[in-house]
Amino acid sequence: MTSIVDTSPDRSQTIAYQGIGKHYERGGERLQVLKDCTFEIPTGEFVSVIGPSGCGKTTLLNMAAGFTRPDDGSVRVGDTEVDGPSPSRGVVFQQYAIFPWLTVAKNIEYGLTLRANKRPRSERREIVQRYVELMGLGGFEKAYPKELSGGMRQRVAIARAYATDPSVLLMDEPFAALDAQTREFMQEMLHETVLQERRTALFVTHSVEEAIFLSTKVVVLSTRPSRVREVVDIPLPMPRTAESRLTKEFVDLRGHLEHLLRTPTTDAGRTT
């Protein structure tokens, strides 16, 4: 268990959740999803959020993305409070959400052709080329999404999110729709990319294994109304490889996190 306060000097990309509360109305019933939820994703770290289903993981991500507002508390990135979507916060969605009418290259380029982020043509071409290579999409630049597998579509979505050079990256179960094998491959690819790009990232997932493999810290949420139950440091050495999954530390961490998810929360067990 570690402190959740970022003490590093650079806080420019730190995502800070402070006292977040959120409820939904469902069939006339008030459903408190999040309650007094506080944690930080320090600049340059890769933090996963896991928790029982329906605990509000995606809601937390949507708040950082600017799609949803908290009832109570605030979400800040750097010094500014989030109050709407912004290209400085890249989002990768579970269902890919790449534009079906654009080719792979045009999808990656999309954000760079908008007024908010406009770049000259030569620079756009360079950026697209760079992420095409990084994401292993070479040879598919002119392909349309319908010609691609799920894994490739998600790589396009990740490349597109990176292309506008966001200061933070928010990923909402990006690999949930993929088969197990593709999933591991994508985790490794994302890990390599993150090591190269050094960007603050929030990653929401159901998979404990995925969270450990990718993250520097894992935030475990309690059952509804969710608070932060524990923030677990993942001190596995970088870069992580397929072998990392077999080490004793990895297996121990997995055991600990799975135990946290399985056991019901009591107030005494909560970390705030």
- Interacting residue ranges for another protein, rule: CB under 8 A: 65-67, 85-87, 89-91, 93, 95, 97-102, 110-111, 113-117, 144-146, 160-161, 164
Q: In the complex, what is the shortest distance from the CB of residue 235 to another protein, in angstroms, rounded to a whole number? A: 32
Q: In the complex, what is the shortest distance from the CB of residue 85 to another protein, in angstroms, rounded to a whole number? A: 4
Strands in the chain per DSSP E: 15-26, 29-41, 46-50, 72-77, 80-81, 89-92, 168-172, 200-204, 217-221, 228-233
- Pick 24 or 99: Cβ nearer another protein: 99
Q: In the complex, what is the shortest distance from the CB of residue 67 to another protein, in angstroms, rounded to a whole number? A: 6
Q: Is-contact 15 73, C-beta < 8 A?
A: no
**What is the amino acid identity at position 163?**
A
Q: In the complex, what is the shortest distance from the CB of residue 92 to another protein, in angstroms, rounded to a whole number? A: 9
- Pick 116 or 238: Cβ nearer another protein: 116
- Pick 43 or 107: Cβ nearer another protein: 107
d(CA 80, CA 75): 9
Strand partners, 154: none
Question: What string of H, E and C letters represents the secondary structure of 122-143?
Answer: HHHHHHHHHHHHHCCCCCCCCC
- Pick 176 or 236: Cβ nearer another protein: 176
